[in-house]
Amino acid sequence: MKKKVLIIVPKLSNGGTEKVAASLSYYLDPDKYDITFLLFFNDKIDFDYKGEIEILNLISGKSTISKLYTNIARYIKVKAFKKKLNPSATISFESGPNILNILTRHGDKTILTVHFCKSEEDKDFYKRVYDWLIKKMYNSSTYIVGVSRLIKNDLEVNYHLSPDKVKTIYNFYNTSKINSLSKIKLDKEYEQLFTTKRVIINVGRLTYQKGQWHLIKAFSKLKEKYSDIALVLLGVGEMEDELKELIKKLSLDEVYLLGFDSNPFKYVGKSFLFALPSMYEGFPNVLVESLSCETVVVSSDCKSGPRELLDPKSSILDKSEEVIYGEYGVLIPRFGKEINLEISLEQEDILLSSAIDSLLSNEELYLSYKNKSLERAKMFDGKSIIRDYEKLIDD
């Protein structure tokens, strides 16, 4: 008889965590498991998935009373749904669903997933409450999955969670599918740009977390030396207007904000390199996806993920103070937490510019990374990593 697996996630749209949840259903052995999703929001679905879907459709307001009411209602509905479904294991994504997963246990294995270094997040009132709940409740779950070794370390050291319960399972990818999607032709309006310029690309929401203003400033310095380069940002977000204003202040005419595209890989695969100036990550999907497109990557050494991916033989606790030429990509020191939208460049912006410059000017170095990119990406292919999740379900 097949085991029932319940996956609790707020939605299946527009996010790395949501993409991992969808991919989990796609790779779990259909001969062994029946998958059901329990979603909080009746939102569009952006990612391929397998299984049934149940939608709570309980949206929280902004007030404390509204949030409390919604969480109580979710608890009642999740508990009732678990009793009805009787799953062998329930896998949850994000802090709210993780807490609900523990509180509504009904003889099922409760497997929580953590996708960021929680101690690194800015703490508003609600995040401080979740921090307290993590310390008090997560040890009562069956397992906690951290998507990087540094997240595992963070949970054990800063939240005092049991090392026996916390497991590292990296995010996983359909690398061959991504590689195929990267070969699709671009629309004619963009084809000339990518064939006549060496394109530096970034894909991600235009938000504080993704730090695109650092990349724009670094690009402005590179433009002083190179006339054959362009910068492309794929994504939408609340900082779009501020980034456009910065581009205007820097008088840059080769920066293109192309918005959201359901297939970013066709752009990434035709770019010279992918740059990730993030302030923090969990395990950045875009880096493995870029490597799957056979595209060279430069990344901030933020917490967490880039170091483990690009320089795996180094210690996860190392903190770079200069440009690091890792085994599979280039790391620059992590950025400070402040937003600086003035035209002046900070030291980190200059280091990012220098790292990209070294690849623009040194073909041998560039090709050494390009030739290893797909090899590294395949180490995170879903067919091998999914076995780690199946062990937790079956244990």
What is the structure's pLDDT at 376? 98
Which amino acid makes up residue 337?
K
What is the structure's pLDDT at 59? 75
Q: CATH for 175-379, among 3.40.50.300, 3.20.20.60, 3.10.580.10, 3.40.50.2000?
A: 3.40.50.2000
Q: Which residue in this structure is represented by tokens 């997933």?
A: 113
Give the DSSP H or E segment for 129. helix 125-137
Q: Which residue in this structure is represented by tokens 């996983």?
A: 172
Distance separating alpha carbons of residues 203 and 258, to the nearest angstrom = 10
Report which of 348, 312, 386, 290 is spatially closest to residue 150, judged by C-alpha positions: 312
Question: Rounded to an integer, what is the distance from CA 208 to the centroid of its chain?
Answer: 14
Q: In this structure, is the dihedral angle defined by the CA atoms of residues 283, 8, 179 and 211, taken in order, positive or negative?
A: negative
Q: Can you state the angle between helices 382-394 and 16-27, rounded to 10 degrees?
A: 80
Distance separating alpha carbons of residues 49 and 318, to the nearest angstrom = 37
pLDDT in tens, 180-194: 999 999 999 999 999
At residue 234, the 3 state secondary structure works out as strand
pLDDT in tens, 252-296: 999 999 999 989 999 999 999 999 999 999 899 999 999 999 999
pLDDT in tens, 3-43: 999 999 999 987 889 999 999 999 999 999 999 999 998 88
Which amino acid makes up residue 247?
I
Question: Rounded to an integer, what is the distance from CA 200 to the centroid of its chain?
Answer: 19
Average pLDDT over the chain, rounded to whole? 94
Q: Within the chain, which residue ranges are assigned CATH 3.40.50.2000?
A: 3-169, 175-379
Helices and strands: H and E segment counts in the chain: 15, 14
- Quick one: DSSP state of residue 40? S
Domain 3-169 has CATH 3.40.50.2000: yes
At residue 352, the 3 state secondary structure works out as helix
Q: Which residue in this structure is represented by tokens 């949970």?
A: 155
Which phi-psi region, left, alpha or beta, contains residue 114 (left: φ > 0; alpha: ψ -120 to 50)?
beta
What pTM did the predictor assign? 0.90
pLDDT in tens, 195-227: 999 999 999 999 999 999 999 999 999 999 999
- Quick one: DSSP state of residue 156? H
What is the structure's pLDDT at 125? 79
What residues contact 20, with CB distance under 8 A and at least 6 apart?
A: 93, 113, 115, 147, 171, 172, 285
What is the structure's pLDDT at 217? 98
Rounded mean pLDDT of 363-387?
A: 96
What is the structure's pLDDT at 123? 65
8 A C-beta contact, residue 291 and residue 328:
yes
Report which of 26, 19, 25, 20 is spatially closest to residue 6, judged by C-alpha positions: 25
8 A C-beta contact, residue 374 and residue 175:
yes
For residue 337, name the pLDDT band (cuts at 50, 70, 90). Answer: confident
At residue 381, the 3 state secondary structure works out as strand
What residues contact 287, with CB distance under 8 A and at least 6 apart?
A: 274, 276, 297, 299, 305, 306, 309, 310, 329
Report which of 314, 315, 317, 336 is spatially closest to residue 325, judged by C-alpha positions: 314
If one counts every other C-beta atom within 10 angstroms of the C-beta of residue 120, the result is: 18
pLDDT for 45 beyond 70? yes
pLDDT in tens, 100-151: 999 999 999 999 999 998 887 766 777 788 889 999 999 999 999 999 999 9
Distance separating alpha carbons of residues 20 and 267, to the nearest angstrom = 22
What residues contact 90, with CB distance under 8 A and at least 6 apart?
A: 5, 6, 7, 8, 82, 101, 105, 108, 109, 110, 111
